């Protein structure tokens, strides 16, 4: 299927949209002031070792200390027995070590680290502490895998100490292309080593490519038709980068000069707005409800107005099949990760359940991020996980509602009226002012003047004080103050 990559660049942020057959499938946003950290290499300093959790907190110069688990310490796995060496036998407070970010800070959690450094190139991933040659799992033909391994080994000297992982794009690469990638990766590792010897602890030793450069390195494949860049300055910079490291992709790179904004032309702005909503409408008339929480994401499938098909079971089956494709797209579009629970419409027919599950797995096969899908549970739910390496689209673009604190709902004006009445009674028992003044939203004041006027008057008589009302237009419905005059 034909793919287009749209790169919208402004001084404050870079946005990338992957469009397949006219539909936006992925959105990536990188802001200048909060650029992602995954792939960066730091000279970390151990702040605290926690033997009970077999982990440690590492200071890498960020606001929050980063997290290092024993399973992510390369030296812990070097024993012949296969058992992990206890973390307290390898690390101590104040120790300085080279670490790499493998997961960005998410919410209140700090970055996750590893001591096994990996540096990604166009065709290869370099593992300087390993001596293993691995092949991408997406290359399934065993003969082709062995051929690639042999080709790479022939390019390496006998005393090579590092290891490599061959990426999918290396299938069409020449020996010269692979050799250039090897030299480029070794040069980066040499620079990291030199920086580690000369810089103080908590220093940044290596920063991964920016989003636009990573697009050229990681996203482009044989199905990519064109890469449109709407900034001339950045188009020239990307052309120079492409010429140096991936000349074959230079022909796909195009400078977009149209009058309409690039994202408007392809309908990406509208797609972003839809991706921030809970409801996703299906063409058949059914719809999804997507609810994202800190613990997990739930996706509920509903038939809505769809009544097609020969019978009700057929209607449910067709809605679930359509939902399977929509779910796979929404996961990529919104970058949802962690535990995901899918609540398809109940199907009694086992063949229908198997067909829907197969369709879901097929739709997820194009996902660049690692996913794992279970079968239908006894409750008719599908549990799955999707690796979370960066914030979701909603967490990047939005923040909790100041009115409801992220609950997704607000107290009614009547509830607030009754809270204010209780607050007035509490204040009257402690203080003896001349007057109480209520500052509240228009909705709350209107209710006090109309339906709740009798209760307000009764309370005023009971406490023996005047109660006045004042509208504060800047207050949201839950916000109020009781002023002692």
pLDDT at 391 over 90: no
Per-residue confidence (pLDDT) for residue 249, from 0 to 100: 86
Per-residue confidence (pLDDT) for residue 79, from 0 to 100: 52
Other CB atoms within a 10 A radius of the CB of residue 105 amount to: 20
Residue 309 main-chain phi, psi, to 5 deg: 95, 165
What tokens does 146 get?
Answer: 């062995």
Per-residue confidence (pLDDT) for residue 228, from 0 to 100: 97
Alpha helices for 204-345 (secondary structure H)? 211-214, 232-245, 262-265, 268-275, 312-334
pLDDT tens-place string over residues 54-96? 999 999 999 899 999 999 998 876 555 567 889 999 999 999 9
Paired residues of 49 in beta bridges: 56
Residue 59 and residue 65 in contact, taking contact as beta carbons nearer than 8 Å = yes
pLDDT tens-place string over residues 409-445? 889 999 999 999 999 999 999 999 999 999 999 999 9
pLDDT at 143 over 60: yes
Place 258 in a pLDDT band, splitting at 50, 70 and 90.
Answer: very high
Find the mean pLDDT for residues 295-305: 89
Q: Mutual orientation of helices 442-449 and 453-463 as an angle, nearest 10°?
A: 80
Per-residue confidence (pLDDT) for residue 174, from 0 to 100: 84
User: What does the DSSP assignment read for 294-334?
Assistant: SSEEEEEEE-TT---SSSHHHHHHHHHHHHHHHHHHHHHHH
Residue 197 host element (H or E): helix 175-198
HEC profile of 24-35: EEEEEEEEHHHC
Residue 47 main-chain phi, psi, to 5 deg: -90, -40
Domains, the chain: 3-35+210-268 (3.30.420.60), 41-206 (2.40.50.140), 278-396 (3.40.630), 413-484 (3.40.1260.20)
Per-residue confidence (pLDDT) for residue 313, from 0 to 100: 86
What are the strands of the beta sheet with 371-376, ordered from one edge? 279-281, 287-292, 296-302, 338-343, 382-386, 371-376
Residue 15 and residue 8 in contact, taking contact as beta carbons nearer than 8 Å = yes
pLDDT tens-place string over residues 192-227? 999 999 999 999 999 988 999 999 888 888 889 999
Most confident of 128-137, 162-171, 296-305, 432-441: 432-441
Enumerate helices (H) and strands (E) in the chain, giving the number of each.
12, 24
- CA 356-19-212 angle, to 5 degrees, is 125
Find the mean pLDDT for residues 29-33: 87
pLDDT at 306 over 70: no
Find the mean pLDDT for residues 142-171: 88
Burial of 445 (C-beta count, 10 Å sphere; 0-12/13-18/19+): buried
Distance between CA atoms of 302 and 306, rounded to whole angstroms? Answer: 9
Per-residue confidence (pLDDT) for residue 226, from 0 to 100: 95
What tokens does 205 get?
Answer: 């030793």
């Amino acid at each position: 299927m034909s793919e287009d990559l749209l790169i919208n660049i402004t001084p404050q942020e870079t946005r990338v949209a992957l469009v397949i057959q006219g539909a936006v499938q992925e959105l990536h946003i990188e802001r200048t002031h909060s650029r992602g950290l995954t792939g960066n290499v730091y000279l970390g300093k151990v702040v605290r070792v926690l033997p009970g959790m077999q982990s440690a907190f590492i200071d890498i110069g960020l606001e929050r200390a980063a997290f290092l688990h024993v399973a992510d310490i390369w030296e812990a796995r070097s024993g012949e027995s296969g058992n992990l060496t206890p973390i307290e036998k390898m690390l101590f407070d104040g120790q300085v070590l080279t670490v790499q970010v493998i997961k960005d800070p998410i919410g209140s959690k700090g970055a996750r680290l590893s001591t096994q450094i990996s540096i990604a190139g166009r065709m290869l991933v370099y593992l300087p502490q390993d001596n293993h040659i691995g092949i991408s799992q997406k290359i399934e033909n065993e003969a082709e895998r062995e051929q690639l391994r042999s080709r790479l080994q022939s390019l390496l000297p006998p005393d090579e100490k590092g290891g490599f992982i061959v990426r999918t794009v290396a299938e069409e690469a020449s020996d010269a292309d692979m050799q250039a990638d090897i030299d480029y990766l070794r040069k980066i590792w040499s620079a990291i080593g030199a920086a580690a010897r000369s810089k103080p602890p908590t220093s940044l030793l290596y920063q991964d490519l920016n989003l636009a450069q990573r697009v050229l390195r990681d996203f482009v494949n044989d199905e990519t038709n064109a890469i449109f860049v709407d900034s001339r300055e950045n188009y020239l910079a990307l052309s120079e980068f492409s010429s140096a490291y991936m000349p074959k992709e230079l022909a796909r790179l195009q400078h977009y000069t149209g009058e309409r904004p690039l994202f408007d032309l392809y309908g990406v702005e509208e797609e972003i707005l839809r991706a921030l909503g809970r409801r996703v409408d299906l063409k058949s008339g059914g719809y999804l409800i997507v609810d994202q929480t800190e613990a997990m994401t739930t996706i509920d499938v509903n038939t809505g107005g769809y009544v097609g098909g020969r019978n009700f079971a057929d209607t449910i089956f067709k809605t679930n099949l359509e939902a399977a494709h929509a779910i796979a797209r929404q996961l990529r579009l919104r970058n949802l990760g962690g535990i995901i629970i899918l609540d398809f419409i109940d199907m009694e027919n086992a063949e229908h359940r198997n067909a829907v599950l197969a369709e879901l797995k097929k739709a997820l096969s194009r996902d660049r991020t690692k996913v794992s899908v279970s079968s239908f549970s006894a409750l008719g739910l599908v549990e799955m996980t999707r690796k979370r390496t960066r914030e979701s689209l909603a967490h990047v673009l939005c923040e909790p509602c100041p009115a409801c604190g992220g609950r997704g709902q607000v107290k009614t004006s009547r509830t607030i009226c009754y809270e204010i009445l209780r607050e007035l009674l509490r204040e009257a028992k402690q203080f003896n002012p001349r007057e109480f003044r209520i500052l509240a939203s228009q909705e709350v004041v209107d209710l006090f003047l109309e339906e709740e006027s009798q209760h307000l008057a009764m309370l005023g008589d009971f406490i023996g004080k005047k109660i006045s009302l004042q509208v504060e237009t800047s207050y949201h419905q839950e916000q109020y103050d009781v002023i002692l005059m």
